[in-house]
Structure 1
């Protein structure tokens, strides 16, 4: 063994011999070593042999070296503490973002073993933080279903950290060890911990320092590290919002676990605590943004499969061995009135945002079962020969899918895709069996909800088929073709989508004035009669059956819901032009609800606008034969300011001031110059900065639940002033 190490050292020596000898205490830029002695010891070689590859190719282990990779490192450390909680050890985890750009993770679990590991001769702490593919997650002794099954999490974070400190409470004492870019040693801190402090690596043997005493019953681990600026890109930082979302998600997945996140980087430190007892049922309720069609359904089950894995024999050979695995499936789902699908999948509480075999099995089992139910009730549902598509079943579905199994096969260290093949059939079988029991239930609520689910998926299927059938007729027709567009549409002559505008006008009286005020080359008009259907409460069938909603969708010509095709829209802008009063605001809200739920890409692309008609018309009287001036104002505050200025300048104006209560009170010239003329009008672009929060607001203000809306109105009443009331 000594000969082999000596040979390796001699091969590496010329590489360093080409460099100019550094000053004492200088770090090697690539490996983070100090030139403590001229001899490159075997101690350095054994530690850095594996971790050096991590530093050279960090993307293989953490995905990227920007903020996402930085967050991935943090999650690797947090997941180690979470795995302890899953095993029933510890219910508290603390994450602290320090002002010096370091981060600390604390738990009160069993603590990393501090005794010597027989094969390596190193303490458990050093094995965990310096050896790739080493830890308590190989085999079935400590963790039967863990997320960090590759055994590289802590060691990779250590390799990519400029400094890492770990403290362990175990056996009545506090043990500590420090690392510099993966290598154990000591820092000369002088009272304050810093990654730039002088570092002295261990030469021949490591030392796990005993730095304090604790009660024998007290156990836990504290890891604090500083990410290496040589590895991570400039500007990479810990993202608080991502961390909070992950902490909240983990607290949902591990009922009873409390996670506290403290951000001390700002002027005012902030602390967030997450603790949930409802598990994934509460998680699904949190994720849902639309009105409920069903309650939260919980589908659980187990399955076993045999997997052939290579096992290292005593003689050093890899022998294929059949191992029986157990897979537990737990799913919470509910259907809502919307059409968006919200899916979260996890393997041993590790998120798999790109799915995998477990998600494929869920979708397969769900589609197969619902198809069978629809076929059995085809006459009642008036289905005909049409077949359900996967998107029909998933429309409006919110689901949280979790599976737990030992040693899952992930694609890559980032664990975004589950690759274990046998999980697919197990999940599909569990879904079909659990749904079969739900649909066979004789309880009144179960029968009512299962009937609503079938009606919903069938209506989605009919809407998809209808959209496909009418896709060609919904496109812009030129003058030589027949048009199936609504008769009340006053279309424009231009076929240039980018320059065309559709004004949705409230009432026929405003339509008459708008016809005279518009630019007929580029501006089209579609009148609506008063307040349209509140589509947040209504079903898809009711929405499509409503004449006003159907006309708007037909005129825009891009379909609706999942079948909406932005490239097929017939107009570059859609402008909602309603009266400047409470009823006009309500109509605008109803129209925006329609666009948000069924034509959201129009809003996301910035193609939906609200016209801003004036509230007042001030006629300034000029002396002699000079024509009078006209000033338009858009609020009571602006009017007061204009009148004060006129009085100060000694100018007279016609009294009383004309107050527009509706668009119909304007003549064509006034409407054109204030609201429709591209050179003078004011438009408000409707945008969606946060679709999830916007969905919650729409559900709050426009949904079926009255109590939350009443609470919102009562709480907001204090902000309402007399000036804001349209009277």
Structure 2
């Protein structure tokens, strides 16, 4: 084992973080990032990643190919330097990349050290050059298996010439087997992570094609039934990325704001004697932002430095947000705009959240040797970037908002109206929230008179049942435990908030009552700790109308009180569909058994018949909660000891929002297609007519 790589094997966690699946993926990112760096430098257009059935992984790119010439200082070929010397790549001082997608810089040598076998082939100069390594040591394998007999080079290592290629054809192929002496037994490559990263990378490097192939046949993966292959290519770049991330209806087109700036910094540089000296160097920073406003209320902002994701932001995001706020404040305060918008500077103040509401943006910067903060490297810390980004965005956004072009002028007006509308909604919601902040601070008279509140002030224990109409309220009032169960009736089908504006939602009596009773505000100003109840339970009839009402309620919670859903505090009551009176044997009393679907009823009756039990023929089919008496409602739907609740979860908010928009939004055509396609698969025997 070569000096340096031995340390990697002894303490792998220092280099790749862990030896589980995350560490395994970290190694793969190192190899892929080297290929992406070639694409960033304009030398690579295709990358292919294959997860082989034998546990190995292969990365093939058509970049310039790893250097094969002998490096004078070490006497080693470029291939051996890259795979056996730590920090040997172009990402370190004096290298060939102005902007690199690699983050940690441990590179191919660490992957080599942690592999039981690594094979590399390089296409350069019309020839195919090859070299193999076992746990970091160069040599020759007698066979293709990682456990094949291995002979290390004794004196001088050498590249083998194993084939020819056409002149001008270049690239690198790296295949390696992760060392199971290092990685835990169940560590696996995640195909889903690869898909996410490949899609993201091809948006950030337009024109780069990445092909993924999974030949492992692992259960639960897309390739479970055979090899699966996917191709990613996005010529539209980050503008197309914004379209992909957006889930609401567009207010503006995707706007691109681009520019550059320069700054100086002192960095250690090797001088002619091979010593590190601090030298002032001039850096260039490229800023590229794609963004668009939509009708929604959430902000989706992704940021990157040299295609490295910075989920916690940093100086580039701070500069972007600073410029956005300053520019829009200035435009709204312009006398002409101020009159049209009825904006009063004395009483109204635009805040950052008003500007970002409904915004989808991808913020990217490219610069050499960026500085990151913290252990996780998720925050850009290069201070000069903030000012550069701020100046570029302020200049370019001002040009967009003041453009004389008819289309851009119309969109600029919509943006200003949206920002001012968000400000007014925020102010109104804050005022409403302040009057409803805590349950014990609320006067009883301020709550809707139709609310049947509970006595307990223990939020964790208390439950709010939203019930369908006054008839259900009457029965539920007798069925509930008034100590901790509150009731709020709503009148029929509430407003479809997916189509309505926020002002229409706030004016709607039913929506307003629900928000007021829960007492935590709505939208961006919603505060989960202020919610007055630990559980919100939607109790509607088990029919089509009940399902529609429940969907409308879920839309309200999803759009304006989403933290309740994300916290798992919204439930749907599951009332039974049937009551079967099973005749008791001998002196035993008849037993009431409830079922919740036609299939469950059929199964119950078959089971009773098999056991020789009989039942009364008049099986009750509940059309609505109003058909139950208080005891039945308590027993089946409200008593915590016996009821069935279905928790509403939000595992994938983006996917959920697309479904809500499809089912409840303004655009009729996709909904019609969905219904037509669904009708073809419908089992008409199961329709409850």
Identify whether the pair has TM-score above 0.5, normalized to the shorter chain.
yes
Query: What pairs with 1:168-317 in structure 2 (closer than 5 Å)?
Result: 168-187=122-141, 189=142, 191-194=143-146, 196-266=147-217, 268-317=226-275
User: Is contact 1:561–1:597 with CA below 8 Å preserved after alignment?
Assistant: yes
Residue in structure 2 matching 1:712, options 653, 674, 680: 674
Please give the TM-score of this superposition, normalised by the length of structure 2: 0.91
Instruction: Describe the SS at the equivalent of 1:93.
Output: strand
Query: What pairs with 1:8-407 in structure 2 (closer than 5 Å)?
Result: 33=1, 47-48=2-3, 50-137=4-91, 142-148=96-102, 152-187=106-141, 189=142, 191-194=143-146, 196-266=147-217, 268-376=226-334, 377-378=337-338, 380-382=341-343, 384-407=346-369
Change (3 A) 1:55 1:416: farther
Shift of 1:536: 2.2
Change (3 A) 1:149 1:674: closer
Question: Which has the greater radius of gyration?
Answer: 1
User: Is contact 1:459–1:541 with CA below 8 Å preserved after alignment?
Assistant: no
What 5-or-longer segments of structure 2 have no aligned partner? 218-223
Shift of 1:650: 7.7
Change (3 A) 1:316 1:588: same
Partner of 2:220: none
Residue in structure 2 matching 1:696, options 634, 658, 664: 658
Change (3 A) 1:73 1:381: farther
User: Is contact 1:506–1:529 with CA below 8 Å preserved after alignment?
Assistant: yes
Cα RMSD over matched residues? 2.9
Shift of 1:242: 0.9
Instruction: Describe the SS at the equivalent of 1:145.
Output: coil
Change (3 A) 1:486 1:208: same
Alignment: residue pair count: 677
User: Is contact 1:61–1:413 with CA below 8 Å preserved after alignment?
Assistant: no
Change (3 A) 1:488 1:117: same
Query: What pairs with 1:420-499 in structure 2 (closer than 5 Å)?
Result: 420-478=382-440, 482-499=444-461
User: Is contact 2:89–2:95 with CA below 8 Å preserved after alignment?
Assistant: no
Shift of 1:475: 4.2
Change (3 A) 1:220 1:661: same
Query: What is the rounded CA distance, in whole Å, between the counterparts of 1:536 and 1:516 in structure 2?
Result: 35
Q: Could you give the per-residue CA deviations for residues 211-259 of structure 1, whole angstroms, max 9, x where no partner exists? A: 2222223321111122234444453321111111001111111222211
Query: What is the rounded CA distance, in whole Å, between the counterparts of 2:278 and 2:411 in structure 1?
Result: 49
Shift of 1:503: 0.6
User: Is contact 1:63–1:414 with CA below 8 Å preserved after alignment?
Assistant: no
Instruction: Describe the SS at the equivalent of 1:162.
Output: strand
User: Is contact 2:203–2:238 with CA below 8 Å preserved after alignment?
Assistant: yes
Instruction: Describe the SS at the equivalent of 2:119.
Output: strand
Instruction: Find out whether 1:597 has 2:559 as its counterpart.
Output: yes
Query: What is the rounded CA distance, in whole Å, between the counterparts of 2:188 and 2:481 in structure 1?
Result: 51
Please give the TM-score of this superposition, normalised by the length of structure 1: 0.86
Change (3 A) 1:381 1:234: farther
Query: What is the rounded CA distance, in whole Å, between the counterparts of 1:331 and 1:479 in structure 2?
Result: 46
Change (3 A) 1:704 1:574: same
Shift of 1:693: 1.8
Instruction: Find out whether 1:687 has 2:639 as its counterpart.
Output: no
Deviates more, 1:669-678 or 1:637-646: 637-646
Partner of 2:687: 725
Change (3 A) 1:388 1:65: farther
Query: What pairs with 1:558-597 in structure 2 (closer than 5 Å)?
Result: 558-597=520-559
Deviates more, 1:624-633 or 1:214-223: 624-633
Query: What is the rounded CA distance, in whole Å, between the counterparts of 2:375 and 2:536 in structure 1?
Result: 46
Shift of 1:642: 4.8
Change (3 A) 1:645 1:314: closer
Query: What is the rounded CA distance, in whole Å, between the counterparts of 2:266 and 2:88 in structure 1?
Result: 21
Shift of 1:276: 1.7
Shift of 1:594: 1.5
Query: What is the rounded CA distance, in whole Å, between the counterparts of 1:224 and 1:96 in structure 2?
Result: 9
